[in-house]
A and B are shown apart, each in its own frame.
Chain A
């Protein structure tokens, strides 16, 4: 006998949801799903059993559950939109710390960069989610229940007083979802912040030394030289690394699934699994393959668009820079650059 009960579908084991059983979000909805959430978009959808071909498909693809699937694409985009600037901020902080002249601070910065690079990131994702969750609850526990006697760590259990729970067990479903999502965002920002710190640290070192020396010769202080000379110039050196990082970030978004957020992977598994007529008006076989094919195509398209946009930004940024790319642009259009006609 396997020590923990395996669900009938072996792949369902991958749900690392046992980790935080207190979160109602994480429960997979196995109840029969009457398609009653919202009225159907098309009038002919009232009796799906009588439909055929295209009409059936158009009704099937607009059920309430499918709307949840489409919204989860928005979740992915939202995650990217929030995480990218946060990671950049973390990265900037990390790179500044690594450059600091105060040795312990510089060790902290360099350690932050090095640790994340040596270990598989998925381990970080699994680790930080529990660690952050427990850290927050532990802090709240210390503040809200100072006279609690028992140990917080009791053997195999992590016990805090009821009002220290995050979010409260009485709070509505959306609070749980938002909390889970925020933890995911912070985790992404910490991990990708380390990558960004690595890139920015390299970019800061790539700015020609002579630029800083010139700034110092003009009498600028250390921080003035940093903010007015180094930072504006470093972006062109950082861009290749950062665009690479953006691609990596896009490709890391399915890991949201491991953090217990109802993302596209969750919905693809839910919706694709075979459905029998008892449970749904739209019975079908195991279509998970096709759902994941759709996800694959979504990501390929997204990557492609990002490539095109990033190539444009790169052209824009290297305009007028003393780099090979900037030089090539100047040569290509000699008249536009104010060279003597």
Chain B
């Protein structure tokens, strides 16, 4: 098969389109590049949706954690502790078996035990907890002067939060939130290694990389390809989040703008 034919056959294999059987022998570099790249679609799907939805929930959690009302603060604290304090790997396993047992309760829950929904829910909750902690930290470090100025203008309640506090919170949190988004995309590789079945071998990038490594007993080709894809993906995230960061900081003088700093990677 020429490389173009391989591309036609396997480019959307992870979504179930194209050739049904995975290549089984005589693996070419092209096979590996195409199939691992095809799996990356799942990583993007999980990562993008979890970040998007988690963003809103994380904002709510951060505000709840900062609230004076213990009925709001305690649940938010507890939620954040549970999801930040335990490994994502164990959370995946627990959620998968929980969903499996729900399945026997009612057929409504059938879809929960498949990766596209179940794993997405876990990732959503997990990234919400991590992001909420970041947003909470930023909320606590809003300069006092900003809030006093808002008070002086007669802003209070929702409009003060919406117009003064929230934009500042976002600006302060953004560099750390960028890191969080990167780690989340990395964490999506855990999905198919933690119980969630890859239905008809429609897996993510690591699933296919592992498939090739198992078949060829040679880890030196598939994993570097995977690394290449992920470095590319990380660069895209940095570009996108960097653009948002510039927008959030555009009213500030040059030297006071918060710069993007990329910190160590985290496993969760």
Contact = CB atoms under 8 A, between A and B. Distances in A.
Interface of A: 1-3, 10-11, 13-14, 16, 18-19, 115-123, 126-127, 130-131, 134, 153, 156-158, 195, 198-199, 241, 244-245, 248, 250-255, 257-258, 265, 268-269, 272, 286, 288-289, 292-293, 295-296, 299-300, 303-304
Contacts of B223: 123, 126-127
Interface stretch (B64-72, B169-177, B206-214, B250-258): B206-214
A286 to B, nearest CB: 7
Interface stretch (B84-92, B134-142, B144-152): B84-92
B190 interface: yes
A304 B89 CA distance: 18
Chain B interface residue bracket vs A: 35 or more
B129 to A, nearest CB: 13
A300 to B, nearest CB: 5
Contact of A252 (B87, B186, B195): B87
A11 B89 contact: no
A127 B93 contact: no
A117 B98 contact: no
Contacts of A127: 213, 219, 223
Contacts of A126: 206, 209-210, 213, 219, 223
Residue of B21, B195, B197, B215 with most partner-chain A CB within 10 A = B195
If over half of A's interface residues share one DSSP class (helix, strand or loop), that class is named, otherwise mixed; here it is helix
Residue of A118, A156, A241, A299 with most partner-chain B CB within 10 A = A118
Interface stretch (B4-12, B53-61, B259-267): B259-267
15 contacts: A2-B201, A13-B198, A119-B227, A123-B226, A126-B219, A130-B213, A134-B219, A156-B27, A156-B215, A244-B264, A254-B90, A265-B89, A286-B97, A289-B101, A303-B86
Q: Which 10 A-B pairs have the closest CB atoms?
A: A10-B197, A120-B186, A292-B94, A289-B97, A303-B85, A251-B87, A127-B223, A130-B219, A254-B89, A119-B227
A292 B193 contact: no
Given A115-B227, A251-B267, A299-B85, 7 more contacts: A2-B201, A3-B22, A19-B214, A118-B230, A119-B231, A127-B213, A289-B97
B94 A118 contact: no
Contacts of B245: none
B104 to A, nearest CB: 9
Nearest to A252: B267
A54 to B, nearest CB: 23
B217 interface: yes
Contacts of A253: 87
Given A248-B267, A296-B90, A120 B97 contact: no
Contacts of B197: 10-11, 13
B25 interface: yes
